[in-house]
Structure 1
Amino acid sequence: MKIAVLKEQAAGETRVALTPETAKKFIALGAEVSVETGAGETAAIADSAFRDAGASVGPAAEVVKDAGIVLGVRAPDPAALSGAKPGAKVAALFDPFRDGARVEAYASAGYEALSMEFMPRITRAQSMDVLSSQSNLSGYKAVIAAADQYGRAFPMMMTAAGTVQAARVFIMGVGVAGLQAIATAKRLGAQVSATDVRSATREQIESLGAKAIFVEEGGIEGEGSGGYASEMSDEYKAAQAKLVSEHIAKQDIVITTALIPGRPAPRLVSDEQIASMKPGSVIFDLAVPQGGNVEGAVADELVTRHGVTIMGYANTPAQLAPDSSALFARNLYNFLSAFWDGEAGGPVLDEEIGDAVRLTQGGQVVNARLKDAG
């Protein structure tokens, strides 16, 4: 089985879906690995490192020719796969809810699209979960970037000249990214508080040494399927807005991380709430690629409103390309190797995970989640 890895074409995408480490592992399974020239440059991986690992390196057309598996961070345009085997598997991020045209194009081209976003959140798939691995790094980077923009010290410092007060950091949304943001801010010495619509996260927040800020409303529960948040009632939204307004005015840094799969990011911070914050405060919106949690947030731009800086990256993991690539590549290897069949010469996916991630097969869109959403 030939595995092909192409250079990423999406704007601002610096990651790569294979590393020399995982190339060696795939070769040990009996696969042939081929990488497009320069595919790893933006992630600090030289072509020579892939060659040393046993992979071949060359132009895209040569790399993709006769490939049975194509690995990507962002799913390549189907036209770029010309020459691959009929029905070749493509494992990558497809953004299937927002990019239905690409999914349809994959179906028309006869490829088997495997959406890594749809990896089920079950115990045996944890090592395959690219969203979790990338969110971990995103939560870390959000705090580091916000701290740099804030321009003041995070920890309390007691000096002969006086005391520097610790920064107050508020994390909104306590999934994987939010938990890492809490841990990072605590390590930097900040006073950290956090909130979420899921009551089950209270214990997680407190276990990291942060203060849990929750709406005390009976019967409100925000746990959705797969551990994600669900859409909340109007009653809850009103209570949450009041709580946030009271708390956010005291904060120096706010990190927002809230996402609902298949829907625009929920609005958590209004212009009025921004106006209540102290001048010089910073808000980092991790959800800005999906429309943003914060009013006025613009991807890859520093926006100043009422003396508060609002920021967020269109692709936060790409800001840490070497590490995010290493984790992404391991997720892909863990996924495919778990189903590798030596006799078949490649992966044979089971129903539980295979049906969850498979978008297209045999010229059709086959994924149940996409069909239900449509």
Structure 2
Amino acid sequence: MKIGFLTDFDGYRAPIHPESIEKYSLAVHLEKNIFDYLNYADSSQENVKNISNLSDLDIVACVENIQDKTLKELKEGAVLIGIFDFDKIEKIKSLRPDIKVLSFFKLPRISRAQNLDALSSQANLLGYASVLRAAKETSDVVPMMTTAAGNIQPSKVLILGVGVAGLQAIATAKRLGARVWAFDIRKEAKDQVESLGAKFVEASTEAQDSVYAKEVSEEENQKIQEALKKQVIDSDIVLTFAQIPGKKAPVLIEKSTVENMKKNAVIIDLAAGTGGNCEGTEVNKVVEINGVKIIGETDILNTVKHAATKLYSENVRNLIELYIENSEDEIFVEMSS
């Protein structure tokens, strides 16, 4: 069985890390210059070969982008691994219906799949990196500082959406010395938020008992916006992570609320790629409204691309090893359905 790894042509990570290569029992076939984004030299390890013909590969791993030209050259019935959202899966299937697509977006939420969970590993780093991005953008400092000239109060940070990324953002902001508040519509979130030392914002009467947040009615969403308004206005930094799988992101912050925020406040909208949690967010742009910066960047993980590649590489390796052991495992049945 031949395994190949492709360059993330429009990204900044790689599906394999130099430290993972030696852990493979089989030869690994790498696309030329696969590590250019990471400033690593091409590997010279014994089990590494260059990809000479895409149609020779049985399993192909990438990150989240694959060119149509490359897709058309893959072997009939090949296995394609990546972080493909539902729209990308549909596009791949329309071009190559014979290919078996294993997308981490469709990984089942079961305990024995935890070491395969690329979405969680990347989200963890995203939560960390987003706090650092906000700290860089604000003109204030995050922790309390006591000097001979006087005291500076710690920043007030609000986290909206408390999944893996949101929880890591809370932990990172707390470590930096911020005062932290958080909100999520899921019932289990309150205990998680408080266990990290943050305060939970009560803003919904419809607490959901589910792993992922579900879409709410327009009326309920307006109630949430209104309940969050005071806390948003009082915050120095707001980080939003609220997403609904396969749906447009809910708008939690209205433009009128932004206009009443403190001058120099910062909003990092991590849902920008799916519509944004804040009115006024523009994808991959920094917008300023009444002195408040709204950052809609979708490549914040680029700041920790080495760590992101290292973790993703291990998720991919674990997935490939399990697939080679038993390609009919229920995990792959669900991922490719």
Structure 2-normalised TM-score? 0.95
Q: Give the structure, 1 or 2, with the largest relative contact order (CA under 8 Å, sep 6 or more).
A: 1
Alpha carbons 1:183, 1:208 under 8 Å: kept: yes
- Cα deviation, 1:265-286, whole Å, max 9, x if unaligned, reads 1111110110111000000000
Q: Aligned pairs, how many?
A: 337
Identify which of 257, 266, 273 aligns with 2:250: 266
**Is 2:29 the partner of 1:34?**
yes
CA distance in structure 2 between the partners assigned to 1:216 and 1:37 by the alignment = 51
- SS of corresponding position for 2:34: coil
Name the counterpart of 2:332.
Answer: 354
Alpha carbons 1:223, 1:230 under 8 Å: kept: no
Name the counterpart of 2:207.
Answer: 221
- Cα deviation, 1:161-214, whole Å, max 9, x if unaligned, reads 110110000000000110011011001100000001112110000010100111
Alpha carbons 1:155, 1:166 under 8 Å: kept: yes
User: Which aligned pairs between 1:81-230 and structure 2 lie closer than 5 A?
Assistant: 81=71, 84-97=74-87, 100-107=90-97, 110-215=98-203, 217=205, 220-224=206-210, 227-230=211-214
Alpha carbons 1:19, 1:329 under 8 Å: kept: yes
Segments ≥4 residues shifted beyond 3 Å: 81-85
State percent identity of aligned pairs: 36
Alpha carbons 1:90, 1:113 under 8 Å: kept: yes
Report the residue type matching 2:237 in the other structure. Answer: I
Report the residue type matching 2:16 in the other structure. Answer: L
| C-alpha displacement of 1:86 | 2.2
Name the stretch that deviates more: 89-98 or 206-215.
Answer: 89-98
- SS of corresponding position for 1:74: coil
- SS of corresponding position for 1:97: helix
Name the stretch that deviates more: 159-168 or 293-302.
Answer: 293-302
CA distance in structure 2 between the partners assigned to 1:294 and 1:83 by the alignment = 41
**Is 2:44 the partner of 1:51?**
yes
Q: 1:99 to 1:338 in 2, by over 3 A?
A: closer
Alpha carbons 2:156, 2:235 under 8 Å: kept: yes
CA distance in structure 2 between the partners assigned to 1:236 and 1:313 by the alignment = 28
Structure 1-normalised TM-score? 0.86
CA distance in structure 2 between the partners assigned to 1:98 and 1:4 by the alignment = 20
Identify which of 282, 293, 314 aligns with 1:298: 282
Name the counterpart of 1:371.
Answer: none
Identify which of 212, 215, 223 aligns with 1:231: 215
| C-alpha displacement of 1:20 | 2.0
CA distance in structure 2 between the partners assigned to 1:199 and 1:303 by the alignment = 33
Name the counterpart of 1:344.
Answer: none
Unaligned runs of 5+ in 1: 342-346, 359-366, 368-374
CA distance in structure 2 between the partners assigned to 1:174 and 1:161 by the alignment = 37
Identify which of 16, 19, 26 aligns with 1:18: 16
Report the residue type matching 1:21 in the other structure. Answer: E
Name the counterpart of 2:62.
Answer: 72
- Cα deviation, 1:94-114, whole Å, max 9, x if unaligned, reads 22236622331121xx22111
**Is 2:299 the partner of 1:315?**
yes
- SS of corresponding position for 1:90: strand
CA distance in structure 2 between the partners assigned to 1:215 and 1:199 by the alignment = 12
- Cα deviation, 1:38-70, whole Å, max 9, x if unaligned, reads 1111123220xx22263113xx5x152411000
CA distance in structure 2 between the partners assigned to 1:296 and 1:53 by the alignment = 52
